[in-house]
Structure formats: C-alpha cells, structure tokens
Amino acid sequence: MESTRTAVGIVGAGPAGLMLAHLLRLAGIETIILEARSREYCETRIRAGLMEQGSVDLMDEIGAAERLHREALVHGGIYIRFDGRSHHIDIKGLTSRSMFIYGQQEIVKDLIALQLAAGGEIRFDCSGVALEALDTDTPAIRYVDSAGNGVRITCDFVAGCDGFHGISRPSIPVNAIQTYDREYPFAWLGILSESPPIDPELIYVHHPDGFALFTMRSNTMSRLYLQVEVDEDIAKWSDDRIWSEFHHRLEGDETPPLIEGPILQKTILPMRSFMTAPMRFERLFLAGDAAHIVPPTGAKGMNLALADVAVLARAFETFYKSGSDEKLRGYSDTALRRSWAAARFSWWMTSLTHTFNDRLPFDNEVQLSELDYVTRSHAGAEMLAEQYVGLPIER
C-alpha cells in the first residue's frame, strides 16, 4: 500500500471541495482532493445554474472568474407569476446586489483547470474511499486508485465535501450527530432545451395544476422545471406533453411566447430538506451537500456549499497561521446558522409557490394572499430579495 501525507485531505471534487482547495492553496496550506468519478463526469453533470453575488466574489478572490465575467448572464430581478399575472421583484433595486446565471458544470470546469494549472492535486476515479482514525491527531483517507493500487493518505484534517451520497457523513458515529429530514410530496421534472429563454429573467410560476420554473443556461439554452408527482414515471412525459404542460401553466395575461426547442436532457428530481448538526466530528469537517440538502426552489444548494468552505478555509488558515483552533471550533455553529437560514428560505419558497394536493381550500387562499403580499408590499418583496440574493458570509 502506497502511503503519503497532506495537511487537509478533501473528499469530493464538486464546487465545495474544489473551492476549499483553492482557498487553502492561496493560504499556503497543502491539500489533496480525492474524487470518485472521472474528470469528464464532474465537468458535464448538469445541476445548479444560479450564483449569488457572494459566490461570484469567491470566484474573483481565487482568480477563477475570468470566463464567468465574460459569459455569465447578470440578473437584477425575478418574476413571480400567479393567478395568470406576472409580478416583478426588483432584487437589484431592493438589495443593490445581482445574481448570475452560470452553469455549475462551468464553475467546476474552471475550478479544476485552475487547480491543476497551479500544481494542485486532484485524484479522479478513486474507489473504495474510506475514512480512518478521525478521532486522533492523524486521521487518514484510504482508497484504491484507478490502476487498482491501495493508497493511504495521512492528514491533519479531513474535509468531507462528497455530496449527499458520499461516505463522509456516514463515517460519523450515529450518536455523534443529529439529522433533520423533510421530504416534499412532489418532485421536479427538469429539461434542458435548445431554445432561447422566453424572458431575460427567471419566472417562478404558481399554478393550481403545479409549479413551473423558467430559467436558462445561456442566450440559446433554456432550462425548465415542472412540479410533478413524487413517484413520477419519466417515460410518461413525451416532449409534446412537456411543452403542452408548460403552455398550460403559463397561460394568462402577459404570457411570454413560449419557444419550443429540442429537449437535450430530461430528469426527475426529488425534493427534500436535510440538515446535519454539528457539521463536524473530531477531525472531520462536513461542507456543502455532504451536510445539508435544500429543495432547489430558492437556488441555494451550490451557493451554500461555497459559503461553507469560505468559512472553513478561514478557520484552517487561522489554525495554521496562529495555532488557534477557535475558528475551527466555531465552524459548525457559524456554518449552521447560515445553512438553517437557507433551509428555511428554500422551504418557504417551496411552500409559497408549489401546489399541495392535501391542502384545505382555506390554505390555498392563504397561499394566494401571501403571494399577493410578497409581490405587492415593499417589505414583503424586500424580505424575499434579501434572502434570494444571498445573506452575507461571515468568516
């Protein structure tokens, strides 16, 4: 078995693991990233699209935002549509901040390229990744490399950035953490369509037959989501049925002309909220989806993953520069406070905009009244805007 060592062993080359490696590299702290998948798989996985200003600021901080500033679409607002009418929320006007449309896979591509160019280590195609001795001063990560050789990396710390289905969180003894889980009684059907967006800004649609969301990846590529049954069979959704459902949920005044295009990708996405507390066990620190999942309605998941590692990187930096572990001890509380705020917002946006079959007629009227309040009252719109654009990252 090959043996090596590093300061911080990072499991997972998603947005969280890659951003952490960059921030630590700039602070002079050595890392090795272990990734279960191939580089190509990581770079083509279609997921998030909306970045908060704070996430873009982090890309700037590490010098990875050159292409982003050239290609991202800058958004100053969103539409919320209900009762057949669209209502604009002027997020830039209310918060002086913007959102950016730039695909998660593009961020991952930029982060991988820069990390490798800077001499950082990312080991792709690792199998059997396992964590050891987390409650000692020399925790270790074991894995089998792409050539079939066993490797053991001894570290000072391990960062679990391996997403919801990774091995980091399950490596923590069950009685050392608490988890909070909430499933929603619906799923999203998401498509990527080769057609120009129907509006420059996102449209969140509340409709009695289910929520719909119009978003985009570029000026030629649209991304659309439909609320569907929780156990929906994708085979039952022909392209024609999908487009006809979008037409139906958008109908009414101010309907932007829907532009149909070839559907390049079609997937069913489950909706859940999941939180882990604390986000640390001894020398293992969890960040991003490894610690928490939010429903995508608030566009928070990837932004939260980047915010977690900004806090974590500062804590490691303080430890290595001054020997103080105060920020490392505070990491979980600081990250959880922001994560719960995002969990709450994502749950609220989901409740505000989706259709719930088991609700009473009274509840449906209250929901419409809340939509009316949020889109009509300055205070209501400001409350939504402040959270949608992203709360500050306290490091």
**Catalytic amino acids?**
75, 204, 296, 300, 388
Residue 120 interface partner, choices ligand PHB, ligand RFL, none, CB cut-off 5-8 Å depending on type? none
Which run of H or of E encompasses 311? helix 301-322
Which residues of the chain form contacts with ligand RFL (CB under 6 A)? 11-17, 34-37, 42, 47-50, 104, 126, 129, 161-163, 166-167, 190, 269, 288-289, 296, 299-303, 305
Q: Are 73 and 218 in contact, with CB atoms under 8 Å apart? A: yes
Out of 193, 215, 303, 353, which residue is the one contacting ligand PHB (CB under 6 A)?
215
| Range in contact with ligand PHB (rule: CB under 6 A) among 19-27, 142-150, 178-186, 293-301 | 293-301
Residue 297 interface partner, choices ligand RFL, ligand PHB, none, CB cut-off 5-8 Å depending on type? ligand PHB
Q: Whole-number minimum distance, CB 94 to ligand RFL, in Å?
A: 20
Q: Which of 391, 342, 350 is nearest to 95 (CA)?
A: 391
Site string for ligand PHB, 294-333 (x = CB under 6 A): --xx-x----------------------------------
The type of residue at 228 is V
Site for ligand PHB in 34-73 (CB under 6 A): 48-50
**How far is the C-alpha of 56 from the C-alpha of 65, rounded, in Å?**
7
Residue 163 interface partner, choices ligand RFL, ligand PHB, none, CB cut-off 5-8 Å depending on type? ligand RFL
Residue 303 interface partner, choices ligand PHB, ligand RFL, none, CB cut-off 5-8 Å depending on type? ligand RFL
- Dihedral of CA atoms 160, 163, 165, 166 in degrees, nearest 10, equals -30
Q: Whole-number minimum distance, CB 72 to ligand RFL, in Å?
A: 13
Residue 13 interface partner, choices ligand PHB, ligand RFL, none, CB cut-off 5-8 Å depending on type? ligand RFL
Distances (CA, A) of 257 to 170, 179, 222: 48, 44, 13
- Closest to ligand RFL by CB, 42 or 384: 42
Site string for ligand PHB, 114-153 (x = CB under 6 A): ----------------------------------------
Residue 139 interface partner, choices ligand RFL, ligand PHB, none, CB cut-off 5-8 Å depending on type? none
Q: Are 29 and 317 in contact, with CB atoms under 8 Å apart? A: yes
**How far is the C-alpha of 44 from the C-alpha of 301, rounded, in Å?**
18
Q: Any residues with CB less than 8 A from the CB of 249 and at least 6 apart, and which?
A: 205, 207, 209, 210, 211, 212, 226
Q: Whole-number minimum distance, CB 297 to ligand PHB, in Å?
A: 5
Out of 223, 249, 283, 314, which residue is the one contacting ligand PHB (CB under 6 A)?
223
Q: Which of 342, 315, 340, 317 is nearest to 330 (CA)?
A: 315
Q: Whole-number minimum distance, CB 47 to ligand RFL, in Å?
A: 3
Q: Which of 196, 209, 200, 299 is nearest to 247 (CA)?
A: 209
Q: How far apart are the first and last CA of the chain?
A: 39
Distances (CA, A) of 84 to 80, 207, 249: 10, 8, 9
**How far is the C-alpha of 25 from the C-alpha of 366, rounded, in Å?**
51
**Both structure tokens of 286:** 């969890």
Q: Whole-number minimum distance, CB 351 to ligand RFL, in Å?
A: 18
**How far is the C-alpha of 288 from the C-alpha of 299, rounded, in Å?**
14
Q: Any residues with CB less than 8 A from the CB of 117 and at least 6 apart, and which?
A: none
Q: Whole-number minimum distance, CB 35 to ligand RFL, in Å?
A: 5
**How far is the C-alpha of 116 from the C-alpha of 113, rounded, in Å?**
5
- Closest to ligand PHB by CB, 100 or 319: 100
**Both structure tokens of 362:** 């009274």
Residue 161 interface partner, choices ligand RFL, ligand PHB, none, CB cut-off 5-8 Å depending on type? ligand RFL
- Closest to ligand RFL by CB, 13 or 29: 13
Binding site for ligand PHB (CB under 6 A): 48-50, 202, 215, 223, 296-297, 299
